[in-house]
Amino acid sequence: MTRLSVNINKIATLRNARGGNVPDVTRAALDCEQFGAQGITVHPRPDERHIRYADVREIRPLIRTEFNIEGNPTVPSFVDLVLEVVPDQVTLVPDGHNAITSNAGWNTLENRSLLSDLCKTFHAKGIRTSIFIDPDPDMAEGAACCGADRVELYTADYAAQYPQDREIAIARYLETAKAARAAGLGLNAGHDLSLENLAWFVQTIPWTEEVSIGHAIISDALYLGLEKTIQAYLGEIRKK
């Protein structure tokens, strides 16, 4: 069964817009777990415009389910943070410092040396390592050569194409997911997954181990409430 990991960055964005501690990011993480989320994802950036390094340190010992930290491992402070708090999973994302959100996956062939060293570094601390990739079978095979445990498929293109033709939207992802499985990799997915397109993705690629969703969940929660929203997403995952 695919696990739902809730990315709480947007809750931190709302807090930071006003200052203070409302909404309480740590409380929100614990509430997400209580409401059924099977994981919590954070993506700290060097400018701390949403999740702060201090948030990560505070949340880590309180999480009972899976804790996933995403970020750019070319930033030394990010690597240091991951090694300090030892999450269940680290997801390596090549986002630029000024990027509003993640917008591309790794070229695992061109960056094999860097990614291989990072996988070894994190494995030494017992941290499962996932590499964020575009839907390209070569990138999945490259991630396996780097020593990754999983890949996370960047699903922005899938989400954009889904309203026009879901079969075309999923095709390249299915091909890449098959390549990842053949290479012995676990499979995650994330970016712009929503109540509209989530069920089709996990039905077509049922060996998806985890989906990481933040923006859509927090947006839907404005209307449905956080508990009902998380339950709605879990319902989409469980559809047959």
- Does domain 3-238 fall under CATH 3.30.70.20? My reply is no
Q: Taking the model in full, what pTM does it have?
A: 0.95
Q: Where in the sequence numbering do the catalytic residues fall?
A: 43, 70, 191
d(CA 240, CA 226): 24
- The structure tokens listed for 102 are 């993640």
Domain boundary assignment for the chain: 3-238
Distance of CA 214 to the CA centre of its chain: 9
CB of 65 within 8 A of CB of 72? no
- One-letter amino acid identity for 48? E
Strands (E), the chain: 3-7, 39-42, 66-71, 89-92, 128-133, 150-154, 186-190, 210-213
Phi-psi region of 68 (alpha: psi -120 to 50; beta: other; left: phi over 0): beta
- The structure tokens listed for 164 are 């026009």
Q: What confidence score (pLDDT) does residue 100 get?
A: 54
- Cα–Cα nearest to 102, from 28, 161, 66, 50: 50
Q: What confidence score (pLDDT) does residue 132 get?
A: 97
Residue 22's CB is within 10 A of a number of other CB atoms, namely 10
d(CA 49, CA 71): 13
Q: What confidence score (pLDDT) does residue 140 get?
A: 98
Q: What confidence score (pLDDT) does residue 95 get?
A: 79
d(CA 88, CA 166): 33
- pLDDT means over runs of 10, the chain (240 residues): 96 95 97 98 93 97 96 96 98 77 83 98 98 98 98 97 98 98 98 98 98 97 98 94
d(CA 216, CA 194): 6
Q: What confidence score (pLDDT) does residue 103 get?
A: 67
- Give the contacts of 157 (CB within 8 A, at least 6 positions apart): 134, 135, 169, 172
